[in-house]
Structure formats: structure tokens, C-alpha cells
Chain A
Amino acid sequence: MSIWAALAGGFVGTLILTTGLRAANTFNLTRIDLPFLLGTAFTSDRTRAKALGYGAHFINGQMFALLYYAVFAAIGYSSWWLGTVFGLVHGLFAATALVNILLPLVHPRMGTSQTSAPEVALLEPPGFLMLNYGRGTPTVTLAAHLAYGTIVGGFVTWPA
């Protein structure tokens, strides 16, 4: 169990998660685009937002990998399936609180249920389970986070 393995797992996991979400986006399963959501917190230039967002997303991926590692270290056990469980919790937290509630509160261009005239949001709020971005969003997001967790768990455990 090493911190470098966790960081490597976080990188690969974020790569897979991002690719999976992007593919789901292309196949019209969801409108969620996490790099875009993150990047537009910094700029309203859509192209620049996506570039910035990918960077921010990978940093977030590393931070969550370190969080996973801290829990693995605290309980003295790690495995790919425990990573999957962490991914499940992570995905549920992201869908119900992190992206649904916390992100709109700090995102300067995202609407919330409290946004009122004369303001107008540039980005619609995700809604419960991010369902505003399409009915397939909870499933796709959860699957992507399960993959992320499994990869981080697997990297931390491997090659022991």
C-alpha cells in the first residue's frame, strides 16, 4: 500500500471515469460534463472552460484518491472490492450532495433553486441525482465512480 500507487490509481481512474462520462455524453445517455461544469466556475469562455475543467477534474481525482488511501491506511486493509464500495459511496455522494447541492452553491455561473430575477443562470442546476441532465445520468455517474473506486483500490493493493 503506497501513496504513489494511490496517486497512480487516481490518475488512471479519473481517466477512465472521464472517458466513460464523455462516451455516455456522445451516445446521448446524459448531458453531464464534469470538466465543463468545473471549468465554467472559472470562466464563461466555453472552450477555455473545458480545458481548465479537465485540469481541475484530474486534481480532484488525485485528491479523492488520497482520501481513499487515507481510509485504507486507517483501517489497515485495502482491496479492489473495497475500492468499489468506496466508489459507490463516492458516486452517491456526488449525485446527491456534491454536484447537486454543494457545486451550485459555490459555482458563480450555475443556477440554484433560489436563483431569481433579475439574475439568470448560465448553467442549469443538476437537480436531485443530477436528473436534470438526463434520466441516464445517475446510472452513468454511478457506474463511472464504481470503476474509479475499483481502479484506485486495485492500484493501492497491487502488487501485494
Chain B
Amino acid sequence: MNDSIAAAPVRVDDYAELRDYAVIGDGRSIALIARDGAVDWLSWPDLDSPTLFAAVLDHVRGGRFFLRPDVPYTASRRYLPGTNVLETTFTTADGTVRVTDALTLPDTASLAPGRELIRRIEGLAGTVPMRWSIQPRFGYGAHTPHVARRAGVPVATFGAEAVAVCAWHAGRPQCTADSVTARFRADAGTRALIALPYAHQEPLVLPTRAECEARLDHTTTTWQKWADDRTYTGPWREAVLRSALALKLLVFAPSGAVAAAGTCSLPEELEGERNWDYRFSWIRDSAFTLDAFLKLGCAPEATSYLWWLMHASQLTHPRLHVLYRLNGDTRAPEQTLPLSGYRNSAPVRVGNAAAGQLQLDTYGELLQTAWLYTTAGHHLDADIARRLAETADFICTIWQQPDAGIWEVRSDPEHFTQSKMMCWITLDRALGLAGRQLIPDRHAARWRHERQAISDYVEACCFSERLNSYLRSADSDDLDASLLLGLLHGYRPPDHPRMHGTVLAVQRTLRDGPYVNRYRGSDGLSGSEGAFLACSFWLAEALARCGRIEEAVSLMDQLVALANDVGLYSEEIDRVTGAFLGNLPQGLSHLALISAACAIGEATR
């Protein structure tokens, strides 16, 4: 990928645009780095741990690590090809300097710290005065660390956590009570390096410079090898590969869980209340996730994810929680942090109250996931097979209940059409698996009967002859972009008149340029939101499956152009300004991109 266009970074009230963030990670956590070189988000040791840097949520209390020229500059950046290693080039009147950032992957050549951020600074031309400052704030900014030198190395500690600041040819670090700061000159041909090794409940490892350099190179080659192994050869390959790399950052390697996004409480509306913690794994995303893994040739990730999914949901079986923690825990109590929020978008929440909702669509997602997994040639063991059959039995008893729907509305439960469609999918896939002798078929007759009952209900109560479309919920007049999932997951085929009509109705009613609104009805929250990107990709895929290839390609081209300069997407986009809204990188946006690109590629073949 080429460097993005050089531009002078802009901050408003000391906050960078969300679009200006790139992400780096190591399969355990992620960091957000702004175009101006500031690390404004980093949670250690794990993706869902409290943060060390959270300036993106509170520029005063959150803590950050900035590294930038000490004179006016422009910045361009890119990922090193096929990697999650970020390269930012700062250009000033007197010279050029390049910064390479990575959360390193451990190698076997040396003793690696538990976690490590490395920033390599190379002088390319002239001389550039540089300045950097590290302001660690443990626990979402709640704890100011104690900073002191140990063996000459600045170390910030709080409780069982410690982070060291190892700098080579990057000036003489000055320690204050709560930060480490330095200035230096980056001359052409010189190379400086700053490493932040981190320890949690163990002694700090203080690496040598040679080890850090080797680990950064190892990290680059490891990512490149992973990317080289991806099998996708269809259209928009670069965007798909970047989405695969972004998705890989959301795979929590220690368990195989896939987080919905890497951050919490980045707002869906500036100064609004729609600020949620997405560092959990949503069952809602499971079918898209598994499908993407399979299409990208990520068989180990697919198997690991299914194993984790079945392990995590075991304690609540046959009920499914909406979301699970990355370690499989079911508890995600929502609480508000005393942070000001991104541009005063408060409250800042961690945890997610949606965990306790009833969402009927999750059952269909689980069975669809198992269906995709077995269709790809994998097997189910007896325990998983039994549980899937019991899940189908369970949906027979609860599908008539109202629920919170895929969008987790906080208004009263309703009979959402997409939820009922996914209940139908639950039983249809159960019958398919039973027909292939993959799960017990003792209750197949009951599944068949209830599947027909759901179909009768949806066709009688959830379809409008006037709009020639399925409706958001039974007896409503609204449309909902989630209805497209009825087509994508197979409730009805694309040539079914009612489903075809629904695609056209969604396009006619909810589409605004490349953007597709989720819905226009009430959701129990104040304010509004940006355009939900996944819905736009779903529409592109639905159009392709309906044979409207040119429209699908045109929409897809527009959507791919909406990514930021390094190919990432957040959850939503402001329709007017194009600003990113919501958490990032957003797994569902990238999953929907992969799925749409694959579908359009298949349709054009």
C-alpha cells in the first residue's frame, strides 16, 4: 500500500479525528496511533484490560505517548505491506524522519517482555528536532504511576503493573513524578529506538537494543508470512487483505475469541450518550466471522473460534448470552468511568448491559456457524452435536417471545422480523445438520413443525403488501437494514419475490448515497447516530446476490473509498462530514466488507 497523502495533523480540543487513527496489535491487545504520532489508546495486558493510555477518551487524565517533530510538519503513513506494523513519515522544512511502530510478537531468540511497544525512529533527510513524552496512567487514567529509575532505566509502576522506558539515541529521558520526556535530533542516516516493555504480575524484562531491533524485524516478517498465506484472489484484494489483518488484531490469541472492536466508548454521536464497550465477543457476529475465516484460508482461526464459542456458551446452555468476555466469562457489568469522553461524549462506559438482553437472532447465528463449519469439511464431536440439537429444541420453546433484536434496542422488546427469521434459520440448519447425521435427529419432526410455524408468522405478520417488503417488526410500518440478513443467511433465496422486494425497499428507503441507515424507528436512546457501515456492505452483497451486479460493484467502490488512509473502518460514518464514529477498528464493518467482496466476486464469475 502506498503512503497516504502527506497532511498536517489536526487536533480539535486536543482530540485527533477518529479517522486519523491507525491500529497496531499483537493478538492480545491493540494500540491506536494518531497521524501526529501519539499513542492515544493502549490496554495492557489484554485487549479488554484497563488502559495504560486512554487520551482518546480524556486528553487530560487518560495518558498518552506522543512522539513527533518539535517543529511544524506534515505526516503520511502506511502499513508495511502485509503487516500490522505502522510506518509514519514526518516531513519538516529541514528534514524527514520515519517512525515505525509495532506491538511486537515474541521470538524464540531472546527473552521477550510480557508485552512490548517498539517505536523505531530513522532520520531520512536533513535534521529533524524530535520530542517525545510518555504519560502512563494505569486503570483508565485512575492511577497516576510512580516513576523512578531502576538500573538507570525509567520505570512506571502501579500495583502489579510496571512499564519501563528503554530509549537508545532518543535523547536523555527526563523523569518527572508521572511522566518521562526527552528531545533529540534525528539526523539523516541515524536510527533511534524507544521500547516500552510491560510486566503484569511478573518481573520486568529489560531488553537490549539488539533484541528490540530483532523483535521488530521478526514482527514484520511474521505478519508478512501470515498475509502471504491468505488465499483470497477476488476483487478489492487490497481492502480485503487489510480487513483480514484488522480482523486478526481482534482475534484474542490466548482463547480464540474475536472481539467486536478494539476500543470502548468511542461515540456513535459526538457529545451523545451512545458510547459502548465493544471489547467482547458477540454471538451476533459469529457466522460472518467463521465465514470470513474460511474464505480467507484461516482454518486454525475458524476451528479455534468455534471451540471457544462452544466452550464459552457451555455455562449458559441452552440459553445464549448476547456477548461473552474474551476469556469466556459471562459477566460484563456496565459501569461509567470518570473520564470526560472523546470530545465530551460522555458517559464513558466499560462493560455492556446488552449482555443480559434476549436476542433471538443469536441462536440462528450459532447454528449457521456450525452449518458453515461442517460444510467446509470439519466435524462436530458428540457433545457439541448434542448441544446444538438442544439449542434447536430450546428455540422451539422461545421463538414466540419478543426480544431486543440484533440492534440491542433499549426500548421495550418487540417481535423483530430479523430475529424470527434467524429462529427459522436455527431450525432449518438443525434439520440440515440432522439430515447429514451430524447432530441427533430425534426431534426433527418438532423442528420441522416449528420452522413452518415461524415461517407462517413472518409471512403473515411481518410483511407489507403495500411496501412489498418485510418489516422491522410484526405489524410495524418501518423497515430495517437487518432484514438483508434474511437473504444473506438464507431465510429466503434472492429470487424470492418478497426478499427481492425487501432489498429494493431497503435501498429505496434507508439508503442515502453509499450510506444505509440501520432503521428510522425508536431504539430507546436519545440523539441519533451515523451511518452503520456494515449495513452498506450488506446491501452491496444483497444486490450482488439478486443479480444487480453493476449496482453492487458501484456501491462497493464507494464503500472501499470510505476507509481511512490506512484502510480501516470504524462502526459508523457521519453522512455529512465523513468523520468516523464509534469504536474502531470495527470487526463487523471489516467482516461485512470481506463477505460482500467475496459475494460480488462469485457473482461476477
What is the interface of chain A, defined by CB distance below 8 A to chain B? 25, 28, 30-31, 44, 46-47, 50, 111-125, 127, 131-134
Known contacts A117-B248, A123-B307; decide if A46 and B381 are in contact (CB<8 Å).
yes
A118 to B307, CA, bound (A): 17
- Taking a contact as CB atoms under 8 Å apart, the answer to whether A31 and B315 are in contact is yes
Interface centre among B106, B255, B327, B329 (most CB of A within 10 A): B255
**Please, which residues of chain B bring their CB within 8 A of the CB of A120?**
27, 251, 253, 256, 300-301, 304
List 22 A-B residue pairs with CB atoms under 8 Å apart, sorted by A's residue number. Answer: A25-B314, A28-B314, A28-B316, A31-B311, A31-B315, A31-B328, A46-B384, A114-B106, A117-B27, A117-B105, A118-B105, A118-B248, A119-B253, A120-B27, A120-B253, A120-B300, A123-B307, A124-B256, A124-B257, A125-B327, A127-B327, A132-B328
With beta carbons under 8 angstroms apart, the residue of A25, A30, A114, A122 that contacts B307 is A122
With beta carbons under 8 angstroms apart, the residue of B222, B303, B327 that contacts A124 is B327
A113-B114, A132-B255 are known; give 17 further A-B pairs, CB within 8 A: A30-B315, A31-B328, A50-B381, A116-B26, A116-B27, A116-B105, A117-B28, A117-B105, A118-B226, A119-B27, A119-B253, A121-B254, A121-B256, A123-B307, A124-B257, A124-B311, A134-B315
B382: nearest residue on chain A (CB-CB)?
A47
Q: Is B383 close to A, CB under 8 A?
A: yes
A113 to B252, CA, bound (A): 10
Interface string of B338-366 (1 = CB under 8 A from A): 00000000000000000000000000000
Min CB distance A156 to B, Å, is 35
**Please, which residues of chain A bring their CB within 8 A of the CB of B84?**
117
A121 to B249, CA, bound (A): 14
Min CB distance B162 to A, Å, is 15
- Taking a contact as CB atoms under 8 Å apart, the answer to whether B222 and A118 are in contact is yes
- Taking a contact as CB atoms under 8 Å apart, the answer to whether A115 and B254 are in contact is yes
**Please, which residues of chain A bring their CB within 8 A of the CB of B280?**
none
- Taking a contact as CB atoms under 8 Å apart, the answer to whether A124 and B254 are in contact is yes
Q: Is B191 close to A, CB under 8 A?
A: no
B327: nearest residue on chain A (CB-CB)?
A132
Q: Which of B303-337 contact A (CB under 8 A)?
A: 303-304, 307-308, 311, 314-317, 327-329
A44 to B256, CA, bound (A): 15
Min CB distance A104 to B, Å, is 9
B227: nearest residue on chain A (CB-CB)?
A118
Known contacts A113-B45, A117-B249; decide if A125 and B226 are in contact (CB<8 Å).
no
Q: Is B25 close to A, CB under 8 A?
A: yes
- Taking a contact as CB atoms under 8 Å apart, the answer to whether B254 and A118 are in contact is no
- Taking a contact as CB atoms under 8 Å apart, the answer to whether B253 and A132 are in contact is no
A121 to B255, CA, bound (A): 5
With beta carbons under 8 angstroms apart, the residue of B105, B308, B317 that contacts A28 is B317
B317: nearest residue on chain A (CB-CB)?
A28
Min CB distance B63 to A, Å, is 23
A115 to B27, CA, bound (A): 8
Q: Which of B43-59 contact A (CB under 8 A)?
A: 45-46
- Taking a contact as CB atoms under 8 Å apart, the answer to whether B311 and A111 are in contact is no
Q: Is B223 close to A, CB under 8 A?
A: yes
**Please, which residues of chain B bring their CB within 8 A of the CB of A134?**
315
**Please, which residues of chain B bring their CB within 8 A of the CB of A124?**
254-257, 308, 311, 327-328
**Please, which residues of chain B bring their CB within 8 A of the CB of A118?**
27, 105, 222-223, 225-226, 248
**Please, which residues of chain B bring their CB within 8 A of the CB of A123?**
307, 311
- Taking a contact as CB atoms under 8 Å apart, the answer to whether B328 and A133 are in contact is yes
A117 to B106, CA, bound (A): 9
A47 to B386, CA, bound (A): 13
With beta carbons under 8 angstroms apart, the residue of B253, B257, B316, B328 that contacts A115 is B253
Interface string of B221-261 (1 = CB under 8 A from A): 01101100000000000000000000011010111110000
Min CB distance A111 to B, Å, is 4
- Taking a contact as CB atoms under 8 Å apart, the answer to whether B254 and A125 are in contact is yes
With beta carbons under 8 angstroms apart, the residue of B226, B257, B383 that contacts A117 is B226
**Please, which residues of chain A bring their CB within 8 A of the CB of B314?**
25, 28, 31
A31: nearest residue on chain B (CB-CB)?
B314
- Taking a contact as CB atoms under 8 Å apart, the answer to whether B254 and A111 are in contact is yes
A110: nearest residue on chain B (CB-CB)?
B254
- Taking a contact as CB atoms under 8 Å apart, the answer to whether B251 and A117 are in contact is yes
A132 to B312, CA, bound (A): 9
**Please, which residues of chain B bring their CB within 8 A of the CB of A28?**
314-317
Known contacts A46-B383, A133-B328; decide if A116 and B311 are in contact (CB<8 Å).
no
Interface centre among A113, A125, A127 (most CB of B within 10 A): A113
B229: nearest residue on chain A (CB-CB)?
A118
**Please, which residues of chain A bring their CB within 8 A of the CB of B254?**
111-113, 115, 121, 124-125
A118: nearest residue on chain B (CB-CB)?
B226
**Please, which residues of chain B bring their CB within 8 A of the CB of A112?**
254
- Taking a contact as CB atoms under 8 Å apart, the answer to whether A117 and B304 are in contact is no
Min CB distance A36 to B, Å, is 9
**Please, which residues of chain B bring their CB within 8 A of the CB of A113?**
28, 45-46, 114, 200, 254
**Please, which residues of chain A bring their CB within 8 A of the CB of B45?**
113
Interface centre among B25, B249, B301, B383 (most CB of A within 10 A): B383
- Taking a contact as CB atoms under 8 Å apart, the answer to whether B381 and A117 are in contact is no
**Please, which residues of chain B bring their CB within 8 A of the CB of A116?**
26-28, 105-106, 253
**Please, which residues of chain B bring their CB within 8 A of the CB of A44?**
303
**Please, which residues of chain A bring their CB within 8 A of the CB of B301?**
120
**Please, which residues of chain A bring their CB within 8 A of the CB of B106?**
114, 116
A124 to B257, CA, bound (A): 9
Min CB distance A152 to B, Å, is 29
A123 to B309, CA, bound (A): 11
A5 to B96, CA, bound (A): 79
Min CB distance A87 to B, Å, is 25
Interface string of B184-208 (1 = CB under 8 A from A): 0000000000000000100000000
- Taking a contact as CB atoms under 8 Å apart, the answer to whether B381 and A47 are in contact is yes
**Please, which residues of chain A bring their CB within 8 A of the CB of B251?**
117, 120
A125 to B327, CA, bound (A): 8
**Please, which residues of chain A bring their CB within 8 A of the CB of B317?**
28
A44: nearest residue on chain B (CB-CB)?
B303
Interface centre among B200, B328, B382 (most CB of A within 10 A): B328
A5 to B307, CA, bound (A): 40
**Please, which residues of chain B bring their CB within 8 A of the CB of A127?**
327
- Taking a contact as CB atoms under 8 Å apart, the answer to whether B255 and A125 are in contact is yes
A49: nearest residue on chain B (CB-CB)?
B381
